[in-house]
Chains A and B, each alone.
Chain A
Amino acid sequence: GAVVSQHPSRVICKSGTSVKIECRSLDFQATTMFWYRQFPKQSLMLMATSNEGSKATYEQGVEKDKFLINHASLTLSTLTVTSAHPEDSSFYICSAIAGAGQETQYFGPGTRLLVL
Chain B
Amino acid sequence: GENVGLHLPTLSVQEGDNSIINCAYSNSASDYFIWYKQESGKGPQFIIDIRSNMDKRQGQRVTVLLNKTVKHLSLQIAATQPGDSAVYFCAEKGGSARQLTFGSGTQLTVLP
A residues adjacent to B (C-beta < 8 A): 4, 6, 32, 34, 41-46, 49, 91, 93, 95, 97, 103-110, 112
Contact = CB atoms under 8 A, between A and B. Distances in A.
A44 B7 contact: no
10 interchain residue pairs of minimum CB distance: A107-B43, A43-B3, A107-B44, A110-B43, A109-B43, A43-B102, A44-B102, A93-B43, A108-B43, A43-B104
B5 to A, nearest CB: 7
A49 B99 contact: yes
A115 to B, nearest CB: 18
Interface in B24-46: 32, 34, 36, 41-46
Contacts of A43: 3, 5, 89, 102-105
A108 B44 CA distance: 8
Contacts of B56: none
Contact of B44 (A6, A44, A112): A44
26 contacts: A32-B98, A34-B100, A41-B6, A41-B8, A42-B3, A42-B105, A43-B3, A43-B5, A43-B102, A43-B105, A49-B99, A91-B41, A93-B43, A95-B44, A97-B98, A103-B93, A104-B46, A104-B49, A105-B34, A107-B43, A107-B45, A107-B46, A109-B42, A109-B43, A110-B42, A112-B41
A91 B44 CA distance: 12
A50 B98 CA distance: 11
Main secondary structure of the interface of B (DSSP, over half): loop
- Size category of the binding interface on chain B: 20 to 34
A107 B6 CA distance: 23
Given A34-B99, A104-B34, A105-B100, A41 B7 contact: yes
Given A34-B100, A42-B3, A107-B45, 6 more contacts: A32-B98, A34-B99, A43-B103, A46-B99, A103-B49, A108-B43
